[in-house]
Amino acid sequence: MKMKADDYLVYDAGTGKYKEDAEQAVRDDVEKHYWLNVGRAVLKDWRLYLMLIPMILVFLFWRYFPMYELLGCFKVDDSTLDVADQLYAGFSYFKDLFVGNSSLSTEFWAAFRNTFLLSFYGLCFGFPMPIIVALFFNEIRSNIVRSVFQVITYLPKFMSTVVMTSLVTMLVRQASPIAGMEMGVISRFLVELGLISQEVGNAGLLNDPGFFRAIYQISGIWEGAGYDSIVFFAAIIAISPTSYEAAQIDGAGKMAQMKYVVLPSILSTIVIMLINRIGSLLNVGYEKVLLLYNPNTYVTADVVSTFAQRYGIADGLVGIASAAEMLNNIVGMMLVIAANTIARKASDVSLY
Amino acid sequence: MKRKLEVSELIFKILSYVFLTVFAICCLYPFLYAISAAISGREAVEYGQLVLFPKDLQFEAFANMFNNNMFWNSYTNTLFITFYGTLWAMGVAILGAYALSKKRLLFRKGFNFFLVFTMWFSAGLVPQYLNYLNTKEVFNAVGITDDKWLVVIAMGMAAMNIILLRNAFEGVPSEIEEAAIVDGATEFQVLSRVYIPMSKSTIATVALFFAISRWNGYFWARQMISNLNEHPLQVFIRLKLEEFQDPEAMTGWNEAYASDSVIYALIVCSIIPVLIIYPFIQKYFAKGVNMGGVKE
């Protein structure tokens, strides 16, 4: 608290005397009784704070308490004890993961690489698709025809992950001579088109590590490209028709119109969605991987979450699994914050 | 004034029709195949004679499904989790979002950060799993032995949805609230009579988000629900798939329909209710995706 005299006394030119500064006195009073005032405000608006309580409890119990459990990555595994009471293990689990010569370390780095690669390929192939679809939607002048296309292409989004992966599994299933079954129908098409050999098709595409990434991306596009185009399409139809007319009068062909009218208009939307996507680069949908992969494809399919699930939940090696997730989460958080900062600098739009 | 299309425009137009047609066929084909395969005869499905249209019609795969008590059980469980889960999540989210939308709330920035931080940093699967195990113990200790309640209460909250609601509430003009207060409305009345009616469409959209994530929920339900009879539909589908994917186990299969048909029938059954309500919810969905684009 400030006690300097000049804070209190101001010179009054009218009377030629020093007098107390009323504002400063109030300010000091507020400072002195800060918590008292907080208490008064809370009491006055107690209903408002009561409304916050359920939300805070839900987040505390099931979002923040797990973060506390995450500290298990520094503690020796012991399921009988609380995290706080477990023996301190230091960075030994991290060491095992990062620099160990064991298969564990190799597996972890493969998982980390796969996490990054699956997202990165998603960025390269999955991200542009909705934009392209939206551009094509815009070309269709008839509302009815366009609506039909839209309804059909949004449809796959309404499947759950389980249904989607079940369908994928069935469509590229292996042939099983014992039960006398042929390979899945999509595999059959691919064999007929000469894209894959009969043997590969018979063995099942999901059992071949070489196909996992392709299946993951293609099923992602199948599921989301139509639906994700909504936001881009909304940006495109917001373009005023006069812009096109002006460009046409200037003699712009389709490509020039795309380049000088459409792209600049939807650029901000694209940038926001791109930044959003980069922010969640390490946030691969573990459910989809978990439902599609099997021991044959761990090499290309395993991501950090599924690695942690296998070791932590299935095998009970909590420390190792938590250490892996800790690393993944920290890198992921840095990406989100970086993406958000860039967004704020680049435009006035902040994502969160 | 009509003007003639330029050549490049014409080419682009043709290209877009071709592309969209191909894409739409790709989107639709797996569903059509699934329906066909569910109602085709065993030979046709197993020996790969099926391309699009069903062959040797049979409906026993569906009948098998409908006669299975576990199927109806899991359906009921999914409805239970979806209904109560959405209700609970919406209740918590609306109250919290309303408080957060008020400028006079003290430590507002702090509370917002408390929410947003969970979007930046999540503990991960294993710590969450351990946490849910602890919660389960607590629930059992107070006499809630039905694990569905664990799924309903402990899971599925999303900070993003609360932020969407908060933004909608912030858009309500404060004059209306002041008018209501002058008329003697309490805080809860202001919320229920002013704010909720004025942001109906956002509330519908967010409720839809919650409902969809509940309907689709699989992983945690499978991990945390120990009683097989309490499993939701998604878990049931997955378990059936795993059972039927084992070729050795399927050698003894001697029904008139293929074992694959059962899975396809199950897939069709789980999509149909979504398709029925799809036309009614579509506009909220489109709205939601646009809201998600720009936040705050």
CB contact under 8 A, A181 and B294: no
Whole-prediction pTM? 0.86
H or E element, residue A35: helix A34-44
Q: What pLDDT does A2 receive?
A: 47
Q: Which residues pair with A88 in a beta bridge?
A: A75
The number of domains in chain B is 1
For residue A49 the two structure tokens come to 């704070």
Mean pLDDT in residue range B185-191:
87
* Alpha carbons A10 and A22: distance in angstroms, whole number: 10
How confident is residue B214, by pLDDT bands cut at 50, 70 and 90? very high
**Looking at the domain assignment, is residue B269 inside a domain?**
no
- Report how far residue A247's alpha carbon sits from residue B3's, in angstroms, rounded to the nearest whole number: 13
CA separation for the pair A20, A24 (Å, rounded): 8
User: What integer pLDDT is reported at residue B268 of this predicted model?
Assistant: 92
* Domain-located, residue B79: yes
* Inter-chain residue contact B20 with A70, CB threshold 8 Å: no
CB B95 within 8 A of CB A52: yes
Q: What is the pLDDT of residues B97-155, one digit of tens each?
A: 999 998 888 889 999 999 988 888 888 889 999 999 999 999 999 988 888 999 999 99
Does ipTM exceed 0.90? no
Residues from chain B that touch A51, judged by Cβ atoms under 8 A, are 95-96, 98-99, 187, 191
In a domain, B273, yes or no: no
Chosen from A51, A293, A336 to mutate, greatest number of chain B CBs within 10 A: A51
In a domain, B143, yes or no: yes
- What's the pLDDT band for A328 if we cut at 50, 70, 90? confident
Q: Can you tell me the distance from the alpha carbon of A90 to that of A68, in angstroms, rounded to the nearest whole number? A: 16
Report CA-CA distances (Å) from B184 to B177, B178, B189: 11, 10, 9
Beta bridge partners of A176: A181
Task: For B13-67, write each residue's pLDDT tens digit.
Answer: 899 999 999 999 999 999 999 999 999 888 888 777 788 888 888 888 889 889 9
Distance from CA of B145 to the nearest CA of A (A): 19
Compare CB distances from B124 to A38, A54, A325 and report the shortest one's residue: A325
Through-space distance between the first and last CA atoms of chain B, rounded to whole angstroms? 42
Examine residue B259 and state whether it is found in any structural domain, yes or no: no
**Whether B26 contacts chain A with CB within 8 A:** yes
- Give me the domain span that covers residue B166: 69-235+279-293
Q: In chain B, whose CA is at the least distance from the CA of A289? A: B219
Taking the C-alpha atoms of A55, A59, A65 and A66 in order, what is their torsion angle to the nearest 10 degrees?
150
The enclosing H or E element of B101 equals none
Percent of chain A with pLDDT over 70: 95
Is the pLDDT higher at B278 or at B78? B78
Confidence class for position B296, pLDDT limits 50, 70, 90: very low
Asked if A325 and B126 come within 8 Å (Cβ–Cβ), the reply is yes
Packing angle of the helix pair A143-154, A209-237 (nearest 10 deg): 150
**Would you say residue B262 lies in a domain?**
no
Q: Which residues of B touch A255 (CB under 8 A)?
A: 8
Q: Please report the domains of chain A, with CATH numbers, ordered by start residue.
A: 5-65 (no CATH), 102-346 (1.10.3720.10)
> What is the pLDDT averaged over residues A120-147?
90
* Residue B63 within any structural domain of the chain: no
Q: Please judge whether A163 and B135 are an interchain contact, meaning their C-beta atoms are less than 8 angstroms apart.
A: no
Mean pLDDT of all residues in B1-20: 79
pLDDT of res. B290: 62
The alpha carbon of residue B183 and the mean position of all alpha carbons in its chain are separated, in whole angstroms, by 41
**Is the residue at B140 inside a domain?**
yes
CATH value at residue B117: 1.10.3720.10
Please judge whether B20 and A52 are an interchain contact, meaning their C-beta atoms are less than 8 angstroms apart.
no
Residue B231's nearest CA partner among B126, B86, B85, B81 is B81
A217 interfaces chain B, CB cutoff of 8 Å:
no
Across the interface, whether the CB atoms of B163 and A352 are under 8 A apart is answered: yes
